[in-house]
Each structure stands twice: as C-alpha cells, then as structure tokens.
C-alpha cells in the first residue's frame, strides 16, 4: 500500500497560501502508483466558502481515493458547515482491501485547541474493535498526539491525548497521521508509527524549513516513511520500521540493576497524605534491593517548613540512595530554599555501576508550567555524551508523553525539542512524575515511564497508589508497577534495550 500524506494546505489568500507546491504534488499523485491520498487537515486558511470551493475543485481532479479531515483553521467562522458541504464527512472510516482508515475531527470551533469528545472516542474504539482483523490500521487526526520538535512552545495539544495514545497502542494501530504543527516528524512507539506532516503549501513554516509532504509504503515486512522537502531545499528523509510482529522476549540476559521510581508523595500532616500507604511502600521498597530510588517531585504538599521537616523525617527512612527533582509545589512559598536545605541540589545526578542518572529541574515558582530551556538542555546532553557506553537515564517532574486519565495540558513547554533530542541521542530511559497516573511506552528505543502518586489521596489509577520498579537486564528493560498498600504487581511493559551489552 502506498499513501501520499499531505497536510495544512491553508488554501486562502496569497499571504498564506502558495499554489505551486500543491499543484506539483497533486500532479505527481495523478501520475499514478498511489493507493490513497490522506489530507490531515487545515485545508483552508480561514474556513471561507470561496476557499472551500477552490479546495473542492483541486481535490476533484484527484483520481486516487482520498481521505480528508478538518483542521482548526477549517472550523473558524462556522467553517465546519462548509466543510461538510464541499469536502465531506469530518469523521468516519474507509475500508481498502487489507486496510482500515479511521478519520476523526479533533478540532474545537473557533479555537486552536484539540479535543476528541467521548462520543468520538468511543467511535474510534468501536471501529478498532470491529476492524481488528485488518492487517493495516490507520488513524488520521489533525492535532499531534506527541510533542513535535522545532515547533516552538508546546500548545494546542489534544486534551485527551493520553487516552488516545493508550488506545492506539493497545489496539496496535500501525500508523497515526497528523498535521497542525507545520513541521514533519516521525516516531515509532511500541510499533505504532506516528507521522506528522509539515505544511505542503502554507507559507507559515518554522525554523527556516520549507514545504513538505510524506510518502508512506506499507508492505508485509516494513513500514517506510519518506518526507520530501521539494521546493528550494530538495531533501528526502527516510525512516523504515520492520513490521514482523511483536517480539516476545525469553532471554533477558543477566540483571544489571534496579531503579525504584516514585512521585507525588505530598507529605504533610493533613489527611490527604496517606501515611499507611507511604509506610507500607517504604517497607516494601527497603526489601526490594534497588540500587537507587528516584523521586520525580511533589515531595511535600506545600513548600512550608512544617511539610519539609516531616518529609525529611519520612524520606530518611529509605535504606537505598535517593535522588530528587522538584515539582512546582515543592518550590512554593519557602520551598526553593527548604528543598535545598533538606534534600540537596536542584539538579541532582547519580552514578551507578554502568549507569548514570541525570535530573533536570523543569519546575518554577508558583507555576504548574515546566520548562527545560535551551541552556540546560545543551548542558544535560553534553554531560550525557561524556558517559559513553553507559546506560543513560534522565529524570524530571513534567511528563514528556501524554498521560492517560489526565487532561493533557502540554505543561512542559519545550517537550517537542527535548523528546526529539533524547531519542536521537539514544537516552535509554526517561522518568517523569506528573498527573498521578502510571504509564510507560518506548519512543524508538527510549523507554519513558511516568509514576503514579505514592501516597496522596489525589491519584487517578484504579490500581491505587503505586510506585514503579525498573529492572535493567543485558537485553531488556522490564517496567512494573507495585501497589503501595497490597504489594500487588502489574507489568507496564518489556522493551528491548537500546545499547545491548
Ligand atoms: Fe495548519
Ligand atoms: Fe492546525
């Protein structure tokens, strides 16, 4: 199956729309060889009737079957009515031989934000169930599920991106196609390939980039994504992923070390702090022979002396080395000074036998917003590059992947650039601790794990308060979650290691 994937045509006035590249791509399409054209939204610049008419005229010349969805720009000024009139239904499914394409409108009228409401969410999950026998499952959605690099501040994220990501991974969707950020990007997460298209004919490109589109080939053995930048700067990027199925590990090799990962203890004298959960987990963790305990922030409920003194008393009872990184609430009030007085540096690191952990301070005073910043990013990756042949782990408070069961707010402002660099630098593991729900997935070969709250009544998992255990073997990384009260264990995932020994 060969797909031509383009996005963000922004058909409109000359100020926003460049006709030539679009005509060029449509002509190429009509030369043949493609099974499907997919347009992932922002067909027009402003949702105006004359531009929908023009879009309809251009698309009617296409001889290949075509799937389109609206973008936020198409839904401006009531444009959705015109979209339906001139282009087609904004949601639905299309069957093509062995493939099913599910397309969904993720846009909120007159807003740049994304949302897939409960009805549509259920529609997607029903379609995935109904067509589970299809060998190629494709999802088309305008808004990006994952943070995109070179796109500036992370924003207009899908409010339920975490639930969608979880759904796509659970149903083993092969391909998720998006647009919106006007920068092309490809990630393979647990064998689901997420492809973001740049803008094919919009004049708003980023970081000096030019217009581009994607060609995607899917056969039995592999999925190949080719990004074509074709005007001025002619370049071609290719990513290829095997499709031979989900490998089951039976030989992990020798176990090298164990990391215990906790977050959001929210220690305070109030009843919101679950003392019993904390003490049971403490006892269990002390018996697990971990090499290091990583606390991803939210140590105290508030940054005041009463909470810090109590937290120090509790945290000192762990028998293994502990490293910390602060959350916003750890720095509230007097927190910035109290944190350092009680728990040490703002950016901590830990050197183990053949592994290295580097903390990133992403929090700020009185703010839920996280930022790493260019200076800190450069410094951290420079430090990691010096640790050759070692297992490299970064830990920070803010989430990098969207978390299920939580409203995604894109709180880490530069998550797009950070994630791309961490993946390209082959960082083995990223630990985070926001939103109080556990989650783990592997982006290319970088395993990313979020921890639930260890001991706060405010947590979102039906499994209950928990902590994570990360076991690193020669061949594999095994991540599981352990309930604080009952010690029950749930596997979050097993992944092949990046730099196998
Ligand atoms: Fe756009
Ligand atoms: Fe958009």
Q: Which ligand is nearest to the CA of 155?
A: 2
203: CA distance to ligand 1 center in Å? 10
pLDDT of the residue at 247: 63
Q: Among 242, 264, 298, which residue terminates a domain?
A: 242
CA distance linking residue 395 with residue 380, whole number of Å: 11
How far, in Å, from the CA of 107 to the mean position of ligand 2? 9
Q: Which ligand places an atom closest to the C-alpha of 143?
A: 2
CATH number, position 278? 3.60.21.10
| Ligand sitting nearest the alpha carbon of 108 | 2
User: Given 181, 209, 242, which residue is the final one in a domain?
Assistant: 242
User: Which ligand lies nearest the alpha carbon of 16?
Assistant: 1
Residues 77 and 141 reside in one and the same domain: yes
Nearest to 330 by CA among 315, 317, 352, 350: 315
Residue 60 neighbours by CB distance under 10 Å: 9
383 domain residue, yes or no: yes
Alpha helices in 287-414, H assignment, sequence order: 305-315, 335-343, 374-386
Q: Which domain holds residue 281?
A: 255-496
Rounded to the nearest whole angstrom, what is the distance from the C-alpha of residue 21 to the centroid of ligand 2?
Answer: 19
Supply the pLDDT for residue 136: 97
Packing angle, helices 335-343 and 305-315, rounded to 10: 20
Minimal CA–CA distance to 116: which of 81, 144, 152, 80? 144
Number of domains in the chain: 2
Please give the helix or strand (H or E) that residue 402 lies within, else none: none
Q: Quick one: 206 and 326 in the same domain? A: no
Same domain, 217 and 352: no
Same domain as 208, residue 262 = no
Instruction: Give 182 Cα–ligand 1 centroid separation in angstroms.
Output: 6
pLDDT given at position 501: 53
- 93 CA distance to ligand 2 middle (Å): 21
Q: What is the pLDDT of residue 498?
A: 74
Whole-number Å distance, alpha carbon 248 to ligand 1 midpoint, is 40
Same domain flag for 286 and 169: no
**Same domain assignment for residues 219 and 277:** no
Counting ligands in written order, the one closest to the CA of 75 is 2
- Ligand at shortest distance from the CA of 10: 1
Rounded CA separation 17/47 (Å):
13
* Predicted structure pTM score: 0.96
Last residue within a domain, chosen from 207, 242, 277: 242
What DSSP state is assigned to residue 11? B
Alpha carbons 213 and 34: distance in angstroms, whole number: 14
What six digits make up the tokens of 349?
């690191």
Is residue 501 included in any domain, yes or no? no
Bridge-based pairing of strands 222-229 and 212-218 is antiparallel
Distance 296 CA to ligand 2 centre (A): 33
- What is the rounded distance in angstroms from the CA atom of residue 473 to the CA atom of residue 103? 40
Determine the distance separating the centroid of ligand 2 and the alpha carbon of 106, expressed in angstroms: 10
Residue 110 near residue 75 (C-beta atoms within 8 A): yes
Asked whether residue 247 is assigned to any structural domain, the reply reads no
- Do 71 and 150 lie in a common domain? yes
Which helix (H) or strand (E) covers residue 294, if one does? strand 292-295
Tell me how far CA of residue 288 lies from CA of 97, 403, 447, 478, in angstroms. Answer: 51, 27, 22, 15
- Three-state DSSP class for 391? strand
CA–centroid distance, 6 to ligand 2, in Å, is 13
| Same domain flag for 291 and 229 | no
Ligand nearest to the CA of 71: 2
**Alpha-carbon span 494 to 480, nearest angstrom:** 9
What pLDDT was estimated at residue 245?
63
Instruction: Report yes or no on 147 lying in a domain.
Output: yes
8 A C-beta contact, residue 345 and residue 279: no
Report residues of the chain scoring pLDDT below 50: none
């Amino acid at each position: 199956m060969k797909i031509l994937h383009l996005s963000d045509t922004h058909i409109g006035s000359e100020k926003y729309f460049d006709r030539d590249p679009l005509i060029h791509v449509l002509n190429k399409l009509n030369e043949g060889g493609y099974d499907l054209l997919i347009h992932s939204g922002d067909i027009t610049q402003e949702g105006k009737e004359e531009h929908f008419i023009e879009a309809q005229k251009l698309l009617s010349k296409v001889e290949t079957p075509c799937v389109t969805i609206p973008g936020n720009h198409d839904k401006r000024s009531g444009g959705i009515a015109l979209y339906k009139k001139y282009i087609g239904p904004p949601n639905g499914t299309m069957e093509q031989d062995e493939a099913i394409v599910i397309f969904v409108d993720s846009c909120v009228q007159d807003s740049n934000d994304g949302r897939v409401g409960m009805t549509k969410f259920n529609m997607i999950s029903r379609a995935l169930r109904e067509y589970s026998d299809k060998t190629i499952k494709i999802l088309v959605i305008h808004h990006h599920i994952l943070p995109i690099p070179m796109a500036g501040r992370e924003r207009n994220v899908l409010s339920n991106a975490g639930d969608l990501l979880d759904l796509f991974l659970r149903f083993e969707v092969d391909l998720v196609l998006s647009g919106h950020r006007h920068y092309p990007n490809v990630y393979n997460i647990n064998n689901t390939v997420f492809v973001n298209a740049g803008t094919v004919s919009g004049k708003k490109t980023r970081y000096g980039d030019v217009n581009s589109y994607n060609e995607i080939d899917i056969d039995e053995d592999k999925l190949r994504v080719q990004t074509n930048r074709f005007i001025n700067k002619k370049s071609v990027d290719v990513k290829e992923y095997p499709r031979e199925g989900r490998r089951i590990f039976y030989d992990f090799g020798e176990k090298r070390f164990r990391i215990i990962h906790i977050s959001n203890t929210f220690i305070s004298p109030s009843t919101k702090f679950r003392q019993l959960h904390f003490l049971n987990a403490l006892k269990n963790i002390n018996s697990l022979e971990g090499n290091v305990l990583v606390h991803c922030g939210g140590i105290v409920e508030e940054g005041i002396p009463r909470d810090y003194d109590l937290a120090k008393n509790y945290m000192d009872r762990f028998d293994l080395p502990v490293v910390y990184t602060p959350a916003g609430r750890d720095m509230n009030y007097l927190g910035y000074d109290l944190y350092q007085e009680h728990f040490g540096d703002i950016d901590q690191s830990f050197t183990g036998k053949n592994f290295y952990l580097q903390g990133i301070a992403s929090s700020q005073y009185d703010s839920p917003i996280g930022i790493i910043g260019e200076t800190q990013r450069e410094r951290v990756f420079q430090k990691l590059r010096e640790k050759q042949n070692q297992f490299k782990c970064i830990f920070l408070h803010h989430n990098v992947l969207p978390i299920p069961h939580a409203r995604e707010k894109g709180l880490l402002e530069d998550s797009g650039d950070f994630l791309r660099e961490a993946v390209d630098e082959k960082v083995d593991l990223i630990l985070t601790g926001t939103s109080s729900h556990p989650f783990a997935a592997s982006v290319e070969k970088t395993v990313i794990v979020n921890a639930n709250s260890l001991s706060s009544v405010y947590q979102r998992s039906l499994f209950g308060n928990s902590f994570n255990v990360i076991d690193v073997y020669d061949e594999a990384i095994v991540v599981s979650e352990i309930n604080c009260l009952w010690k029950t264990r749930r596997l979050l995932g097993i992944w092949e290691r990046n730099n196998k020994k």
